[in-house]
Amino acid sequence: MARHLITSALPYINGIKHLGNMVGSMLPADVYSRYLRRRGHEVLYICATDEHGTPAELAAKAAGLPVDEFCAQQHLAQKAVYDGFELSFDYFGRSSSVQNREITQEFARELHANGFIEERAVRQVYSKADGRFLPDRYIEGTCPHCGYDKARGDQCENCTRLLDPTDLIDARSAVSGSRDLEVRETTHLFLLQSKLESEVAAWIDANGSDWPTLASSIARKWLTEGLADRAITRDLDWGVPVPGDVWPELAAAGKVFYVWFDAPIEYIGATKEWADAAPAGEDRDWKSWWYRADDVRYTEFMAKDNVPFHTVMFPATIIGTRAPWKKVDYVKAFNWLNYYGGKFSTSQQHGIFTNAALELLPADYWRYFLMANAPESDDTSFSWELFSSSVNKDLADTLGNFVNRVLSFSLKRFGDTVPAGNEPGEAERALGAEIAGLLAEYEGHLDALRFRKAAQALRALWSAGNSYLEAKAPWLEIRTDEAAAALTLRTAMNLIHLYGVISEPFIPSTAATMRGVFALPEQDPAAGPAWVTGEQAGALGFVGAGTPFTVPPVLFAKITDEDLAAWRERFGAE
């Protein structure tokens, strides 16, 4: 059985992330990680804050803090939100860590030794007002490709094209706003991607055919256009320093590596952070996950604008080291979740941010909605109306109401233990067959990382319980055949326990509540709930007669018209 290494694109440090960031990388990675763990796989889910680069310096400057202090605070703030969403990282690290600095510098040394890094004199934008060179995001202007007037000097947020600062029209300093700019000569290190292009292409040909079309098409588009040599250093105060043993003059000049060189390496760095943070007596072999890791299946999760870096630039970096570092096996890419047709944007503060979402409702509301509407095949658009409909119909009515009706009615008529009643009949056998089939469908979609379809299959599993309950109508059965009503309720209670197991990847807190309804022998809390086989699901024999149970509080409260009006006013709806 393969070990599973899972990473999600590193959230940038310059503020709390919006729901688009959550659904485009971290949340689906968590759902998949939880599912694999429940199926008995060994899983390592790694993420970290991406802390270097221009935006970190600009955000720290705006906050009036030293950049290292700003990043430390923001790391804790982001981690608190992700804990609130119950993201089950095995480790959530920091790209500014000592481990990442050491590994990044070693990668650079290996690339240089193999002839894939060279020094080049380049002409770069210099701001007289600021008295400094302006790297990539320190410059804003109009994109020459799509006309977006807030494009950054490294990439246009609107059309995703990579840019050079000198490409921008009407360029201005992001620090001072000054347009008094000139081009001067400076020296930087370049990764010679052109010399690695054929090897990257061969690797994508061999590995990318199974990727989603979104990921493979973006990677192949970059290859078709040709890989250009790319500067991997910047004139910044904050970043991984260029190692002085190889480039003493550049190190003395304070050059640091470009954030997109060191950020993907942080996946490895954070794994070493995880190993170094092991409790006393626990030996964690971080390198076995990344070096000669033939038994590891590595899956990356990211939004489409991150695809080029993960499918072309980072693989080129790894290939150029000539060392057997693990390369990604499967890239799960997502389109964008928009907000009423406009882009969610951290920089523009447009849309719903994850901390605000948790202030409104518990995480499971958001987790289920986001995955049920994940932007897999195309961009999707958030609206409060769609959110309300999904919560009220799927979570409150289909799942929550089923649990409450079954347990409340059984408590009222049979007391606080699971009733016995008749032996299962034809209706129960038909239900068991339906449940086993739906469970296999659900598992198939999760195995293939089809999250919207997995959510549909999970909803169908919940709906099957409601259909059974309506057909059997225990509130009518009990008038003429108490044992028949008891069988119906016992069967429905077994469905509740089943839902508490299989819903865990999507709604972990509610799933735990459903499992906790019944006084069953406690499972290992660290391992979590064991998954169920199709045979077990079909038999519906998890909870026996006489098992004590309790009626939990309402699992999901309905969203009211008053709620919608207040939220539309607070967050805007346009």
The Cα diameter of the chain in Å comes to 92
Rounded Cα–Cα distance for residues 21 and 12 (Å): 10
Tens of pLDDT, residues 121-164 = 988 888 898 888 887 778 899 999 999 998 988 888 888 888 88
Confidence at residue 162, expressed as pLDDT on a 0 to 100 scale: 84
Phi–psi pair at 107, nearest 5 degrees: -60, -45
3-104+259-381 homologous superfamily: HUPs (3.40.50.620)
Q: What CATH number was assigned to the domain covering residues 116-256?
A: 2.170.220.10
Distances (CA, A) of 333 to 68, 210, 307, 557: 31, 12, 7, 33
Confidence at residue 346, expressed as pLDDT on a 0 to 100 scale: 58
Confidence at residue 440, expressed as pLDDT on a 0 to 100 scale: 97
Confidence at residue 485, expressed as pLDDT on a 0 to 100 scale: 97
CB neighbour burial string for 506-545, b if at least 16 within 10 angstroms, e if fewer: bbbebbbbbbebbeeeeeeeeebbebbebebbbbbebbee
Residue whose C-alpha is closest to residue 503's, from 555, 554, 459 = 459
Confidence at residue 423, expressed as pLDDT on a 0 to 100 scale: 93
Which ranges of the chain have pLDDT less than 70? 1, 345-350, 522-529, 574
* Amino acid identity at 518: F
384-539 homologous superfamily: Isoleucyl-tRNA Synthetase; Domain 1 (1.10.730.10)
Query: What residues contact 298, with CB distance under 8 A and at least 6 apart?
Result: 5, 6, 7, 326, 327, 328, 329, 330
Confidence at residue 267, expressed as pLDDT on a 0 to 100 scale: 98
Tens of pLDDT, residues 497-524 = 999 999 999 999 999 999 999 998 766 5
Q: Hey, what long-range contacts does 78-84 have (CB within 8 A, 24 or more apart)? A: 78/11, 78/13, 78/16, 78/17, 78/49, 81/16, 81/17, 81/354, 81/355, 81/358, 82/26, 84/354, 84/355, 84/358, 84/363
Residues annotated within a binding site for ATP: 346
Report domain extents, the chain: 3-104+259-381, 116-256, 384-539
Residues annotated within a binding site: 143, 146, 156, 159, 346
Residue whose C-alpha is closest to residue 314's, from 252, 232, 421 = 232
Displacement of CA 186 from its chain's centroid (Å): 38
CB burial of residue 28 (10 Å; 0-12, 13-18, 19+): buried
Residues annotated within a binding site for Zn(2+): 143, 146, 156, 159
Confidence at residue 112, expressed as pLDDT on a 0 to 100 scale: 98
CB neighbour burial string for 71-109, b if at least 16 within 10 angstroms, e if fewer: bbebbeebbebbebbbbbbbbbbbbbbebbbebbbebbb
3-class DSSP assignment, residue 188 = strand
pTM of the model as a whole: 0.92
Confidence at residue 176, expressed as pLDDT on a 0 to 100 scale: 85
Helix (H) or strand (E) holding 73: helix 67-84
Tens of pLDDT, residues 339-390 = 887 777 655 666 899 999 999 999 999 999 999 999 999 999 999 999 999 9
Q: Can you state the percent helix, strand and coil of the chain, rounding each to 5?
A: 50, 15, 35
